[in-house]
Structure 1
Amino acid sequence: MNDRQGSDREPEPKVDAMAIVGTLLAGPLCWGGIGWLADWLTDRATPLFLPIGILLGLGGSIYLVWRRLPKH
């Protein structure tokens, strides 16, 4: 029999700050790069797909970080 209190609960998962920062940076960079490539391939004078890609990448990376965080 274990006398320590709280030993029946599972340990809380740790949050890796570098993984969060990396995810938040990688999404806009990757999707922004895809948007830039789409602008370059379509020979646009003003960028259209670049800001769309950056916003989609940021939204996706925020969603991924939110899903990975432990629930309390």
Structure 2
Amino acid sequence: RLGAGPGGIEDIKRHAFFSTITWDKLMKRLVPPPFKPAVSRVDEAFYFDTEFTSRTPKGEALPPPPSSLC
């Protein structure tokens, strides 16, 4: 599988599918996202299919994300 060999992530970064990505800019968050959802809360799930949002979660609940992500 791509990325599982000795080249690791570099194999993925060199793949033709990702040839238009400037990885340094992406890592520095200088690349604008192609789509930014309009959400009003950090836990908004409007853009997720109800097939997934209607399911009962399994396992332990995760802590809320840091407020810096809001």
Given the two structures, how large is their TM-score scaled by the length of structure 2? 0.17
Structure with greater proportional helix content: 1
Q: Highest Rg: 1 or 2?
A: 1
Given the two structures, how large is their TM-score scaled by the length of structure 1? 0.17
